[in-house]
């Protein structure tokens, strides 16, 4: 699948087949995240790969929109590492780019995935920090559930020319 096709056809998948994902596929997804651009090439990210069923089933305890944990075989927690941050405040953009890379890679690999936001909701940050044992310098940004899709949402054309402004407003 080429890049433009992946961008135009990727959709959030919230229901997964009950099939395990090979560790190699999960590593490939994280590697795609690590290819993301970052401010000053600081790469202030850390990733927690979760394939423990017991942990996955506990995510809805702190995240009200994580019902897909019921069927997802795995998740990737994308975190900002403040100890690696050289350009203060850009970790959010950097980790968002890593998250998008993972979503596109999953789609290109025939997998389904969905981005569930953690940061800046303090209750979700605290819940993820506790469940996954994150140090204080690590801030969870997003939790991506991933697996073989049970559903296949149709692509949408989201292009809105009226939102384009040339050379100024």
Provide the CATH number for the domain around residue 120: 3.40.109.10
The structure tokens 């959030």 sit at 12
Domain presence at residue 166: no
Domain presence at residue 96: yes
Indicate whether 1 pLDDT > 90.
Answer: no
Domain presence at residue 59: yes
Domain presence at residue 70: yes
Domain that holds residue 104: 3-151
If you average pLDDT over residues 157-165, what whole number do you get?
97
- DSSP state letter for 115: E
Provide the Cα torsion 29, 126, 129, 112; round to 10°: -20
Indicate whether 115 pLDDT > 90.
Answer: yes
165: confidence class by pLDDT, cuts 50, 70, 90: very high
Domain presence at residue 27: yes
Question: Domains in the chain: how many in total?
Answer: 1
H helix and E strand count, the chain: 5, 4
Domain presence at residue 169: no
59: confidence class by pLDDT, cuts 50, 70, 90: very high
If you average pLDDT over residues 39-59, what whole number do you get?
98
Computed on alpha carbons and rounded to an integer, the radius of gyration of the chain in Å comes to 16
């Amino acid at each position: 699948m080429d890049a433009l096709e992946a961008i135009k056809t990727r959709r959030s998948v919230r229901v997964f087949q009950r099939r395990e994902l090979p560790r190699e596929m999960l590593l490939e997804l994280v590697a795609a995240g690590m290819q993301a651009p970052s401010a000053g090439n600081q790469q202030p990210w850390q990733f927690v790969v979760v394939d423990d069923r017991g942990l996955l089933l506990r995510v809805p305890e702190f995240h009200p929109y994580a019902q897909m944990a019921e069927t997802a075989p795995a998740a990737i927690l994308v975190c900002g590492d403040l100890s690696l941050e050289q350009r203060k405040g850009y970790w959010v953009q950097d980790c968002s780019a890593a998250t998008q890379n993972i979503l596109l890679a999953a789609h290109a690999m025939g997998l389904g995935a969905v981005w569930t936001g953690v940061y800046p909701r303090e209750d979700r940050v605290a819940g993820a920090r506790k469940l996954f044992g994150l140090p204080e310098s690590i801030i969870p940004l997003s939790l991506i559930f991933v697996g073989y899709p049970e559903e296949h949402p149709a692509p949408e054309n989201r292009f809105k020319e009226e939102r384009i402004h040339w050379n100024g407003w």
